Chain A
Amino acid sequence: MSQTVDRTALPASPAQDVPDPAPETPARSSGVLRMWQRLPWGMRYFLGRLALVPVTLFALCTLAFGLVNLIPSNPAGVLLGDFATPEEIARVNAELGLDQSLWTRYVEFLKALAGGSLGESYFTGESVTVALGARVASTLELVVGAWIVALVLGTTLGVAMAYWKSPVARSSISTGVALIQAIPDFVLGILGSLVFFYFLGVLPLPLGQLPMTASSPPAITGAAFLDAVLTGDWSTAGAAAQQMVLPIAALGISGSVVFARVVYAAAAEVFASSHTAFARARGIGEPTVVRLAVRASLLPAVAASGIVVGSLIGGSAVVEVVFNWQGLGQWGAEGALEADIPVLEGYIIAGAGLALLAHIVADMSMYWLDPRVRVKR
């Protein structure tokens, strides 16, 4: 109970390392400041990064607007078809507001954005934000699934490559990795459907999120598998899972290359280290040695996840078209062909926003997983 007495005495104490707040500074703000200073370095770093997110998002929106509007395109021409007269095109351009100056359009875009709107599709009239909400879960389903496949496969390949000393084993794995890198992801998907649907007949026709015969579950997230699981409709979930196998495998196998490379580098270092030699000398079994190496090599893999998820989001565009997945990527690719400006702006913001989110999550996991990041500085 002597603390209250101490506190009144504190300002006079020369031992205090925090400088005295000026008398006119409100006590509350100095409290916030002190709380901020008490936070560990890493936490401050992340809060700082999170504070930057709105700024980055704003820059992203500007980038999206600039990219889509600076490239010459002719949405009115696409809307009206090949036989449109110049007067008709001029009229539609005026309706769409495309006859305004770039600056006016940017101001309009920002005004709508402030109201939480990204406009409506020129072709379907659907609100872009509604369309994004209906499709984002379908794409995330693919991207998250592919990320897991890539992580597991890439780690296995990387550790195997570092573990087996025999040149035959090592070069055959590295040739395999090089081969995966040389085949486009969507082609892997098509080849997969040729083999597993046509030749072996073990998978259903891989088009859409559900087979033709299945009735779709009530739309909660918009992604068939997730919705079926959420409503407990297990037979539909099973059917949807079968439809997911090929697109996820195609994206995941392609994405595993990056993980294989970084994990190989890390695992080779671990296997060559003196602590591995010591573990072996103590008679610790090989499975444990490998398990420890996997654990150590997972850190760079997690760090690389942001980049991998970014490229999976990009790669999902063509893979979604191949499998008629109806997610963000297919929507964006089709929007590009129609020069549907609001759709493209929405697609860029969503795609790059998700990639940004993946980077932040990857960095935060590093903070959580790796004590070295936490104590730095």
Chain B
Amino acid sequence: MKRTDWSVVVAVVVVAGLLLAGFGPLPFDPREPHLEAILTGPGATHWFGTDRSGLDVFSVTLAATAEILPIALVGTLVGGVLGVVLGALAASVLSGRESGSSGRSEWLLRVLDMMQSLPVAVLMIIVVGIGGRGTNVTGVIAALALVNIPLFAKVTYAQALSVVHEPYVVAARGYGASRTRIALRHILPGVSGIIASQFSLSIGNAIIALAALGFLGIGIAPPDPSWGELIRQGSEEVASGVWWLLVFPTATICALVLALNALARRLSTRKGLAHA
């Protein structure tokens, strides 16, 4: 009997709900300022209050989710796919060779180490910010890809190496299964759990990174709806006690990332992997 894991149910509902809400009808246009209501607190009209230019915080927060989640997804996907291919190549899975690593894969791993020696935030600020202020979707996707390639490659490499020597893979090779069949039917299922888990984790990190970039005015920036911009205004209004610009976007980010991390943990334990 399998016990229902409520954390996963909640996680899926939260992510799907926020995404649908962002694409669905919003009470106000997230780009249209209400000059008669600047920096008003939460109330009946503006549920989460308004910001310095009179934008409805509720609408902006949800619209930002709909704006940011797809970009986080695409960027992570690009990095993830490239990383998985590199990791599989390094583990010699694709060439179907018996011995796991080789001199060439050692080389590849060192290059990945080099890529990772750069602090993630430093890399992202430079790749995204060098184009100047404003929305820069290409930059964000490139940065997310660069950050994720080494992560996915290493996870895939380590996991594939441990699967390649499993008896069922050796047996499949013994009865003459083709390389592609071994890679797709036998090795891929063995590594898919941890890759899915890493994917969920990486999207969560991408969301946090995009909030930070938005705070600096890069990545997704005004006039596009952005959490970071709300938080930036909130930080400048701290001395006047404007809490709603901080609390609501933060709660949204927090809910999304918590949900994605819970999903990641579930995905990694399902395959009998250590609780990380």
Contact = CB atoms under 8 A, between A and B. Distances in A.
A333 B129 contact: yes
B75 interface: no
A95 B31 CA distance: 41
B204 interface: yes
Interface of B: 114, 117-123, 125-133, 139, 204, 208, 211-212, 215-218, 231, 234-235, 238-239, 241, 243, 246-247, 250, 253-258, 261-262, 276
A208 interface: no
The 5 closest A-B pairs by CB, nearest first: A314-B119, A314-B121, A336-B129, A182-B257, A73-B130
A318 interface: yes
Contact of B243 (A186, A194, A348): A194
Interface string A182-221: 1110110011011001110000010000000000000000
B contact patch SS: helix
A311 B126 CA distance: 15
B239 A205 contact: yes
Interface in A289-328: 310-311, 313-315, 317-318, 321-322
Contacts, number: 138
Interface residues of A, number: 50
Contact of A73 (B117, B131, B262): B131
Interface stretch (A29-37, A351-359, A361-369): A351-359
B143 to A, nearest CB: 10
22 contacts: A67-B123, A71-B131, A73-B132, A182-B253, A182-B257, A183-B253, A183-B254, A184-B212, A186-B212, A187-B231, A187-B253, A190-B246, A194-B241, A313-B119, A318-B212, A321-B215, A336-B130, A337-B132, A339-B130, A339-B131, A351-B122, A352-B118
B125 A336 contact: yes
Contact of B238 (A60, A178, A194, A337): A194
Given A187-B231, A314-B122, A356 B117 contact: yes
In this complex, which of A184, A205, A339 has the most chain B Cβ atoms within 10 angstroms of its Cβ?
A184
Given A333-B216, A351-B119, A178 B208 contact: no
A276 to B, nearest CB: 20
A contact patch SS: helix
In this complex, which of B117, B208, B239, B243 has the most chain A Cβ atoms within 10 angstroms of its Cβ?
B117
A321 B216 contact: yes
Contacts of A184: 208, 211-212, 253
